[in-house]
Structure 1
Amino acid sequence: MSEKNRAGKIYLIIVFALLYAPIFYLMYYSFNSGGNMHEFEGFTLEWYSEVFHDTRLIIIVINTLVIALLSSVIATIIGIVGALAIDRIRRKRVKNTILSLNNVLIVSPDVIIGASFLILFTIAGIQLGFTSVLLSHIAFSVPIAVLMILPRLQEMSPTLVDAARDLGASRRDVLTKVIIPFISPAIFSAFFMALTYSLDDFAVTFFVTGSGYTTLSVEIYSRARAGVSLSINALSTLIFLITTALVVGYYLVSKGNLRRRGKEPASEMGVPR
C-alpha cells in the first residue's frame, strides 16, 4: 500500500470518528441509570420505556411522519411537472433564469426562508399549525425534487418520444409509458431526498409551528433547552437505528436489483448463469 493511499484511509477514519463519536456518546448514555451524561452508573432501559409511554411524544412522531410523507409526495409530483416544463423551454436564457431561481431557494439560509413564510402566513391569515408546516415543507422540497429529476430527464433521447408518437401513442401514453418509467429512478431519489429534508428540518418548522402543533425536531430542541433528559438520548438512538436500518435495507435491495439486471442479458442470450 502506497503512502498516499494509507494517508487517505487514515484521514477518512479520523473524519468518520469525529462525525460518529458524538452519536455513539449519546447512545451510550441513553442506557445510563444515573440520569446524567457525566458518569455511567449502570445499565437501564428506563429511558426507552419513558419514550414509549409518552403519549404526547408518540403523537408528535406521527405528526412528523405525516408531514414528511405528504409534503414529499406533493413536492415530488410538483417537481415532475416543473422538470417537464423546464425541459421543454427552448430559450436558453429563460431556462437558466428559472434554474437559477430554483437553486437560490436551495442555498438560501433556512432562517430567512422560515421568517419569510411566517410573514407570508401572517399576512395571508393562515393559522400556524398543520397547514402552515405542510405548505412550508412542500415549498422547500420542490426545488430539491426539480434538481433531482431534471438531469435524468435531460439524459433521455428525444428519439424515444418520437418513436412512441410514430407508433400512435397519445401524449398521455408518452408521459406514462415512456417518460415516467425512464425518469422513475430520479423520482424515487427526489422523494426520499425530500423526505429526508422534511424529517431533518428544524429552522423553517420552528418559525411556522403553532402553539398546539409541533414536529419532532422542534420538540427535541424544546426539551433539550429545559434540561438534560436521557429520554432525548433514547429517542435519538431509536431514530438513528431506524434510519440506519432503512439505509442498509435500501442498499441491499439496490444491490440485489443490480445483480439481477446483470444476469438478465446472459439468460436472454441463452448463456447459463
Structure 2
Amino acid sequence: MNVKSKLPNIYLIFVFFILYAPILYLMYYSFNAGGSMRNFEGFTLDWYKEVFQDTRLLIIALNTLIIALLSAAISTILGVLGALAITYVKKRRTKNTLQTLNNVLIVSPDVIIGASFLILFTMIGIRLGFISVLLSHIAFSVPIVVIMVLPKLQEMSSSLIDAARDLGASNWNILSKVILPYITPGIFAGFFMALTYSLDDFAVTFFVTGNGFSTLSVEIYSRARQGISLEINALSTLIFLLTIVLVIGYYFINQRNARSTAMEVRKP
C-alpha cells in the first residue's frame, strides 16, 4: 500500500528530472574554466563577464526585452477586449465559434504561423525587422491572454453587473470598477504568459526577423551552429533565471490578489 502511494511521487520526480537535467547540466558548465562541456576544470565567472562585455549581445538582449514588454502590453489589451467580446456575445453558436478559432491559433504549429507571417509581410511590403517581429509576437500572444482571462469572466456572477446598473452605474463605470478589478488576476496571468512566450519564442521569430535585427533565441541558435561556446551556456542560464523570476513574480501577485479577494468576501 505504501509503495503504491509513493508511485505518483516517484513518477513526478522522474518527469521533473528528465525536464530539468539538461538545463542544470547547461548551467553547471557555464561556470567551467576549461572552456568545454566534457571535463569541469574549475569554477569561473569569465563566461558571464564575456556576456556583459559583448556590446552586440547586450543590444540584442535589449531588443528582446523591448519586444517582449511591448507585445505583452498590447496583446493584453487586445486579449482582454477579445475575451469581453466573446463573453458577451448573445448567440451561443457564435460564441463557441470564436472560442474555437481562438484555441486553433494556440495549438497551431509555430512553423506554420511563422511561415504565414513571412508570406504576409512580404506581400504587403513590411520590411522584416523590429515591426515584423513585434506584430508576430502580438498575434500569437493575444489568444493566450484571451484564454487566461475568459475563465475569470465566466465565473463572475451577472448579479454584480445587475447591481451596478441598479445603482445607476454607466457602462464605463461597470467596466472600470466592476469587471476589470474582478478579472485582474486573469489579466496579470495573461500578461506574464505573453511576456514569457515572447522572450522564449524562436520558431516564429526566426521566420520574421531580418538583417540587422535579432532576438536572443535566434542569436543563441546562430552561435550554437558555429560551435560550442560556454558563453551560450552563461547567456542561457541568465535567460532561464529571468524566466523563473517572472514566474515567481506572477505567483506572488496572484497570491496577493487571492488574499485581497478573500478579505473582501469576508467583509460584512
Long gaps (5+) in structure 2: none
Counterpart for residue 134 of structure 1 = 134
Aligned-pair CA distance for 1:79: 0.8
1:9-68 Cα distance to aligned partner (Å, 9 max, x none): 111111111111111111111111111111112222111110000011111111111101
Residues 185 and 254, structure 2, Cα contact 8 Å, conserved in 1: no
Aligned-pair CA distance for 1:97: 1.2
1:139-168 Cα distance to aligned partner (Å, 9 max, x none): 011111111111211111111111111111
Q: Which residues in structure 2 correspond to 1:16-165 (within 5 Å)?
A: 16-165=16-165
Bigger drift between 58-67 and 234-243 goes to: 234-243
Counterpart for residue 221 of structure 2 = 221
Residues 106 and 140, structure 2, Cα contact 8 Å, conserved in 1: yes
Q: For 1:43, what is the secondary structure of its paired residue?
A: coil
Matches of 1:100 and 1:265, distance apart in 2: 34
Aligned-pair CA distance for 1:101: 1.1
Bigger drift between 255-264 and 26-35 goes to: 255-264
Bigger drift between 111-120 and 190-199 goes to: 190-199
Alpha-carbon spacing, 1:252–1:222, altered in 2? closer, same or farther (3 Å): same
Matches of 1:258 and 1:185, distance apart in 2: 8
Long gaps (5+) in structure 1: none
Alpha-carbon spacing, 1:225–1:85, altered in 2? closer, same or farther (3 Å): same
Q: Which residues in structure 2 correspond to 1:224-243 (within 5 Å)?
A: 224-243=224-243
CA-atom RMSD, angstroms? 1.9
Aligned-pair CA distance for 1:248: 3.5
Matches of 2:229 and 2:12, distance apart in 1: 33
Counterpart for residue 195 of structure 2 = 195
Counterpart for residue 209 of structure 2 = 209
TM-score, normalised relative to structure 1: 0.92
| Amino acid across the alignment from 2:232 | I
Alpha-carbon spacing, 1:249–1:108, altered in 2? closer, same or farther (3 Å): closer
Q: For 2:42, what is the secondary structure of its paired residue?
A: coil
Aligned length: 268
| Amino acid across the alignment from 2:114 | G
Q: Which has the larger radius of gyration?
A: 1
Percent identical pairs in the alignment equals 69
Q: For 1:103, what is the secondary structure of its paired residue?
A: helix
TM-score, normalised relative to structure 2: 0.94
Aligned-pair CA distance for 1:253: 5.4
Alpha-carbon spacing, 1:258–1:78, altered in 2? closer, same or farther (3 Å): closer
Alpha-carbon spacing, 1:256–1:151, altered in 2? closer, same or farther (3 Å): closer
Alpha-carbon spacing, 1:118–1:262, altered in 2? closer, same or farther (3 Å): closer
